[in-house]
Every structure is written in C-alpha cells, then in structure tokens.
Structure 1
Amino acid sequence: MTEQTKDAATAAANTEFVELTAEIVAAYVGNNAVPSNELSQLIHDVYKALATAVSGGAEEKKEELKPAVPIRRSVQPDHIVCLECGKKFKSLKRHLRTHHNMTPSEYIEKWNLPADYPLVAPNYAKARSELAKKMGLGQKKKGKAA
C-alpha cells in the first residue's frame, strides 16, 4: 500500500468517525440535558470510544481488579461484604442494583467468583428459611375431602 493510499484510507476512516460521532452526540444531547461546558468532552469521549472499538481496544489496558476486602474474608456468618465498596450487608442483590448498577451475575463474573458464591449472609439465609418453614411455605397443601 502506498503512502497516498494509506493517507486516503485514514482520512476516510476519520471522516466516518466524525460523522458517527456527530450522530451519536446529537442523539444523546437531544434526549439528555448536557451543559455546554461538557459538550466538547462528550464529543471527545464518543470519538475516542469509536476509535478504540474499531482498533479492537488495543489502546486500553485492562486494569487488574482489586476488591475492597479480600474475597476470602467477604463472606461472614452475619454479613456479606461488597467487593466493590467494602460495605457490609445481609443481602447484596438490591445494593448491587441501586449503587453499582450491576446484576448479581455481572458481579460474580466481574470478580471471577464461583457460581455458588453466596449473595446473602449465611445466618440471615438460615433465619429466613426457618421463618418460611414455620409459616408452612414449601410444603404441599393437604387435599380437601370432596
């Protein structure tokens, strides 16, 4: 490939990125309130994301994840510690959704946790199980005589 051909291909790719960036930013700004002083950063971020996606993400280095607490110590009898922020909970599901915008499966995948990793404190799960059994849940209903 000659130098002129490379330059033409690069110019065409840049033009396409600029057009796509304009379309994406216009759609985003049309549906979201964006302060004018943040508009240039938004354009830059969208353009960079497009360029990175096309290059296969070669520019980005994957950072090694460091949990807030060691994974081995995140499960305690009375609480589970969130690896994202280090806070203690009886159940993580709602916290993950509201504070970290993650599903339990995304959390488990992100931290490379085993499939049977508990998201509820063991003692809390046991207490809820006993309460449900006392209420008669999980048992078949007795048939009524007709």
Structure 2
Amino acid sequence: MSKSLVEMTAEIIQSQISSKQMTTEEIKAALNDTFQTLKSLQEAEANGIEAEPEETNPVMDPKKSIQRNKIICLECGQEFKMLSPKHLRSHGLTSREYRKKHGFSARQPLCSKALSEKRSQSGKERGLPENLRKAIEMRTKNRTK
C-alpha cells in the first residue's frame, strides 16, 4: 500500500525537525513547499513527463550564512562549525564550486567565524606567518639567482 502525499510530506518534515530547530512559520513553509514538490513530481510521473530540474534557491542570504558559531549550508539548511568536503559532495559540489555558486571569494573559509579566528590565532602562536614570510623570501632569492 503506497503512502499518500500528505503522509510522505509529514515524514520528510518530521525528519527535518528532528535534525534542526525550526519555527512554526518555517515548518508551515517547509510543509507547503514539500507537498507542492511531491504533487508536481506525482503529476509529472502520471503524465509520463520527465520533471525539469529547478534552479535551487539558497536556503538564506549567503552573506548571513557564515555566522559567529556556525555556518549554514545554503543547499540544505543544516548548521555546522565547518562545511566539510564530504557534506558538499552529498550535494554534488566541491568547495570551489560551492563558493562560486553562492558568490563567495575563493579565499573565504567555509567555517564559522569563531573557528576561523581560533585557527588563525593557533597559527600565529606556532609562528606560521613569520615562517611563511621567510619561505617567500627564500623563494624570491632563489628565482633571482
């Protein structure tokens, strides 16, 4: 016995709610969007028409996705301290493609601001900026010879 669209929609949204906090308005919007998507897929299947892939809209404004203690994946809305290559692969993207798709610079870290600052401070404590400067100087000296 197959499930109705309402039952499938409810199951999908229940699993989303169990993995992230959602307001009542977000739940209503997610229910409506999911139901409409399932309905259009069902109609396309019944008519024998292949559904055209829709251009995915980001979950939120890309500028607001990188926050102090978390980064929000613009593909699925999940929250992380860092967007791992493994997670991005689940969306069929590399870090470079994700940055390009959502308008981030190539040097933008895909992690929370706090984690980025912590890494930067740790590197400074280990002397990385000084060592990097020395390595660059050595490279330029070797090129001029």
TM-score range, shorter chain: 0.3 to 0.5
Q: Greater Rg, structure 1 or structure 2?
A: 1
Q: TM-score, normalised by structure 2?
A: 0.45
Q: TM-score, normalised by structure 1?
A: 0.45
